[in-house]
Every structure is written in C-alpha cells, then in structure tokens.
Structure 1
Amino acid sequence: MARCGGLGLQRGLLVITHVIPEALLAGVVDVVSNAATTASVVAGTAPGTIAPPVAGTDEASALASLNTSVHAAEFLTTAAHGTFTLGHYAGALGNSGVAYEVVDDANAAMLI
C-alpha cells in the first residue's frame, strides 16, 4: 500500500489512515531516553573493561588481559554504533510525526 499524506491507495480504493502525531513525537522522547541511558552505562563501564588489571606476571595472564581489552573495544564500537542507530531512528520518528502534523493541518485548512 502506498501512502501519501495520511492517505493511502489499496487496490484502487482510497483508505484514510489514522495516525496520532503526538504519539510518534512522544516515542521520540522514549527512544532518546533509551539511547542516553545506554550511552551512559557503556561509558561508565568502559574504563574498567578497556584496561583490566593483569591477574599475574605470567604470559597467560597478560594474554587474557589483552584478549579482554580487545573484546571490550569491539563491544564499545558495537554499542556506539547501536546508540547512533537509535539516534537516527529517533530523528526519523520525529520527522514522521511532524510530517503527519503538517499534512493534517493542510487537510484541515482545505476543509474550512
């Protein structure tokens, strides 16, 4: 189904969609809050995971510590990408909410 301005065509019939822009915009706040919480938790644990203390003086302890550091760096990269993706999603969700509001206002103005 193709949509345009809150209206959609489905098999040649005009279908009016009902979207509540306020709900979309409220979702933006929720997504941004989730992204901020995730970023703060990851940032708070980063120092301890990037440079863990070496358990002993032997080669195995040093390699285990290095392995943990590499894994932590990969995790932080993935977490940063995920947080960026959440931010991108919040922006798209906000744009959708604003677009529906603009179209609803334009449709209401035509009916006055």
Structure 2
Amino acid sequence: DPYTNTRREFTEAMLNRPIPDAATPQYRTFVSGAQKVLRALAYHPAMEPNIDQPFMTPANKKSRVYFMWDFCGRTLGMALAIDASLPRSTKKVWEEVNERTVFADVLFHDNS
C-alpha cells in the first residue's frame, strides 16, 4: 500500500525481486543494473530525509537524488512487470523503458 509502505520498503521490494529463470540475457542485464542504480540512489545521504516516509507522502526534502530515485524506481517497476521470457523487441513497453533509461542517463550527467 503506497499510503502506508515506506520508500525503503518499496525499494527493498524492487531490489529483492528475483529475476525469472526464463529471462532473456538482455532482461537480466537491465534489471540487475537498474537494481544497482536504485540501491545507490535509495541509500545516498540525500535520500535520508525521505527514505522512511510513506511512498505517497510528499518528500521532506526534494533533491536531484530523490527525483532520480523516483524516476529510476518507476522505470525498474515497468521492467519488472514485463514477461521476461519474451524478446525485448516484441514489447512496446521495452521501448518506453529504454527511452526512460536514456533520459535518466542524460539527467545523471546534467550539471545545471
């Protein structure tokens, strides 16, 4: 429940989600990489004021790390909802996941 579960609980659920045995190599690579990024963002010092709040509560401190945690977590959630045994190219949602990943990379490297 996003109104009672904390951002930490949401993050841990995403990090502990097993990759299906039938997953394609590309899916495995994406999910394991996205889980590493989400872990780094969730436990970054800038997330400390927000990590133990309920997911739907407005953030105590809105920061670049918070927004990237939210964006990357939602992208990972989209990927985890895909049937991992199908090739990426056959799924429209993979296009959106890929576009979000490219956008996240741009945001990570934006120094403005």
Q: TM-score higher than 0.5 here?
A: no
Greater C-alpha radius of gyration: 1
Question: Greater RCO between the two (CA within 8 Å, min separation 6)?
Answer: 1
User: Where on the TM-score scale, by shorter chain, does this alignment land: which range?
Assistant: 0.3 to 0.5
Instruction: Report which of the two has the higher share of strand.
Output: 1
- Give the alignment's TM-score, normalised by structure 1: 0.34
Q: Which has the higher helix share?
A: 1
